[in-house]
Structure 1
Amino acid sequence: MQRRAVSAVLAATALLVTAGCSSDDGGGGASGGGTTPSSSTTSEAAPSRQAAEETPPAKGSVKVLRTAATGLDTPWGLAPLPDGDLLVSSRDEATITRVDGETGKKTELGEVPGVSPAGEGGLMGLALSPDYASDHMVYAYFTSASDNRVVRMLYEEGKPSGEQLGAPDTVFRGIPKGYIHNGGRIAFGPDKMLYAGTGESGNTGLSQDKKSLGGKILRLTPEGDPAPGNPFPDSPVYSLGHRNVQGLAWDTKQRLFASEFGQDTWDELNAIEPGGNYGWPETEGKSDEGDFRDPIAQWATDDASPSGIAYAEGSIWMAGLKGQRLWRIPLKGTEASADPQAFLEGEYGRLRTVVSAGGDKLWLVTSNTDGRGDPKEGDDRILQVQVS
């Protein structure tokens, strides 16, 4: 099977130490920010095509059903298995662990070779092959000594604990790496193509450079080639002008949404269009400048610093790191139909990943052992929540 490794134009990586950038995995830290949600939604009327779609209630609810697992070290990516168990990655230990969905028992599959954890980099996003039932392939996004890359590994359940991961096969390489802003979320879309959210690695100029893989959403075949129908010929770039994308989710109409870390003013939730330019570093949040696409919702960086997102019950659910809360953004088409609503504020600390558990249930992963949190007994943990 032919695979094409795509090389990026790699600029020298900078640490980007700037006043107002807290480096909370790319989220800013506006000084003096309070705990009152500071959000903004679009006020333009939705197109008539969207008007016919059912609109969820303006207010929703969240109920924590149970703690599914405890004692996880720097958990980052989460991939539910067909039988209800979960695969979770450890950013700093570079391991993948299977969690029994009922008992919480943890079984280490193995360590992923070639991972070089540092700062915000390490072993991050996980995704199962769209043909997992037959090929048993697990995809992972990680930071190596030279770049960020996507690999796939055979999961061999019959082998002893710690030896169940096959050798990583590099599917895609050349994504700029840095101490900060490494992106890291991967997901297979409804089209069975592989999407990857990348960061600009602290070099803001990469986001507007169509030849760079930094500050982009990439769309690839499962083998790592630019996916058919991409907006730029022979390019894996699907959208550009991003600062640090760590959340990807689709609604029931197969529309893509992505969360975005701001620097020190606005975090964003964006509705992603092929070839869309989302403005960074020229704009942060909503703006009248140029042909940049505005977010459908935005937050002060103290209130969000968003990582993972998921879709359920007509809303996008967004995990907040510095904000330490779960945000609900009700949708009507590709617009927010009401102001975002916050849940679990401060109850479980930093929230990293949220994944659909089917129907009205979500898996929620905390992130208090990542060096920026305040770990409590039992951290980090996986929660199962019910939402409406």
Structure 2
Amino acid sequence: MTRRTRRVEGTMIVQRRAVTAAVAVATLLLTAGCSSGDEAGGAPEGSTSPARTAAQSQPSGASAGPTPPAKGSVEVVRTVAEGLDSPWGLAALPDGGLLVASRDEGTVTRVDTGTGRKTELGEVPGVAPEGEGGLLGLALSPDYASDHMVYAYFTSASDNRVVRMLYDAKKPAGEQLGAPDTVFRGIPKGFVHNGGRIAFGPDGMLYAGTGESGEEGLSQDRESLGGKILRMTPEGEPAPGNPFPGSAVYSYGHRNVQGLAWDAKQRLFAAEFGQDTWDEVNAIEPGGNYGWPEAEGTSGSSAYVDPIAQWSTDEASPSGIAYAEGSLWMAGLRGERLWRVPLDGTETSADPQPFLEGDHGRLRTVLAAGGDKLWLVTSETDGRGSPADGDDRILELEVR
């Protein structure tokens, strides 16, 4: 049962079926020239089949073995917490709690997943929220058990940067975050396209998805940190084995990366916003060029790595992704649904499937919770939604 009738840019969202390639081409020709508000939307209402293409991605340390069979559906088990303000980043604590970042307030809050109780750890100094910028991604140190460090990606007055802070739960609420230690700085900032997702990979390195801050040319400039996936040590140095010596750049030609996840074979996948036509999920190759702004979606050119799946922008506008039970799970903002992308190696084994369409509004972040469980964060209070009582929420999902 849907929570309420959902509308985006005045158009009712309805379930759509896949159409043929010929109809998709005709639709694109008719709608050419329409511009996107990125997270707010892109192409007019329409339907296309998510495309499937081959791509290769084998980061160092990838393990052998068969890909586990993918389970086929997802259901909401319960509401974990509600009343969150512009939630964005999410990190799971070893004791079962969750840390959630408020983009606009610049605060980090601990959520007790059993009771839903919220405790504000503190405000991150230096956060300058504006547009799509603010306090964004969160990640725990690989050595969190001993160092209790929380990493955060945020927009400052001058750039986007990554910091780390000591979390001391013994201190009073509101004073539990230590002073931020800047790990990495100089990522271009803008009113839009700030990227913001960070995650530690299976190799212990810190990965960051960045945006081109509205300046398209930065994506193809390997000297710029905008429109990239970055790979660095926990101290912020370019990681050993990066494709470009002395650089943190791991892949380039991206528009706005807000989703990072690894599969059971330790292969990296990323979700990013398109402009007018295609949103993408990509299998990431070290040194790969993903085409923006020269290509959006599948290009067929040997110069660029094609996505493994793509959607019209009104169906997705993707932010977070997670891997569980043989599939990637992708949160859609304008699309207001959770996409399942079943994997077979670095290709999709079947067409992506939508779930929860319109049930909970805009969806920002999805995080693997272990086994067949996922955490899902809604995004109705980010200035582009239609918040109702209780928004925003963290939901617990079960993959079946």
What residue in structure 2 maps to residue 6 of structure 1?
A: none
Gaps in structure 1 of 5+ consecutive residues:
1-17
Distance 1:110 1:244, change over 3 A: same
Q: Does the 8 Å CA contact 1:53/1:332 hold for their aligned counterparts?
A: no
Does 1:56 pair with 2:72? no
Q: For the residues of structure 1 that align with 2:242 and 2:339, how far apart are their CA atoms?
A: 31
What residue in structure 2 maps to residue 42 of structure 1?
A: 53
Q: For the residues of structure 2 that align with 1:288 and 1:69, how far apart are their CA atoms?
A: 44
Please give the TM-score of this superposition, normalised by the length of structure 2. 0.88
Deviations 1:318-346 (A, max 9, x none): 00000000000000000000000000000
For residues 1-388 of structure 1, the aligned pairs below 5 Å read 20-25=34-39, 28-31=41-44, 33-34=45-46, 38-42=49-53, 53-54=66-67, 56-57=69-70, 60-388=72-400
CA drift of 1:24 comes to 3.4
Q: CA RMSD in A?
A: 2.1
- Tell me the secondary structure at the aligned position of residue 184 of structure 2: strand
Q: For the residues of structure 2 that align with 1:263 and 1:28, how far apart are their CA atoms?
A: 9
Q: Percent identity?
A: 76
CA drift of 1:172 comes to 0.2
Please give the TM-score of this superposition, normalised by the length of structure 1. 0.91
Q: For the residues of structure 1 that align with 2:142 and 2:33, how far apart are their CA atoms?
A: 43
Distance 1:175 1:253, change over 3 A: same
CA drift of 1:376 comes to 1.2
- Tell me the secondary structure at the aligned position of residue 303 of structure 1: coil
Deviations 1:286-340 (A, max 9, x none): 0123410000000000000000000000000000000000000000000000000
Amino acid at match of 1:24: D
Amino acid at match of 1:172: F
Q: For the residues of structure 1 that align with 2:378 and 2:324, how far apart are their CA atoms?
A: 19
CA drift of 1:20 comes to 3.2
Amino acid at match of 1:235: S
What residue in structure 2 maps to residue 12 of structure 1?
A: none
- Tell me the secondary structure at the aligned position of residue 146 of structure 2: helix
Q: For the residues of structure 1 that align with 2:63 and 2:120, how far apart are their CA atoms?
A: 45
Distance 1:19 1:161, change over 3 A: farther
Q: Does the 8 Å CA contact 2:54/2:346 hold for their aligned counterparts?
A: no
Deviations 1:186-235 (A, max 9, x none): 00000000000000000000000000000000000000000000000000
Deviations 1:22-46 (A, max 9, x none): 3233x75112x24x56311127999
Q: For the residues of structure 1 that align with 2:33 and 2:380, how far apart are their CA atoms?
A: 24
- Tell me the secondary structure at the aligned position of residue 267 of structure 1: strand
Amino acid at match of 2:238: P
Q: For the residues of structure 2 that align with 1:345 and 1:50, how far apart are their CA atoms?
A: 35
Amino acid at match of 2:66: E
Aligned residues: 366
Amino acid at match of 1:318: M
Q: Does the 8 Å CA contact 2:54/2:347 hold for their aligned counterparts?
A: no
Gaps in structure 2 of 5+ consecutive residues:
1-31
Deviations 1:151-194 (A, max 9, x none): 00000111110000000000000000000000000000000000
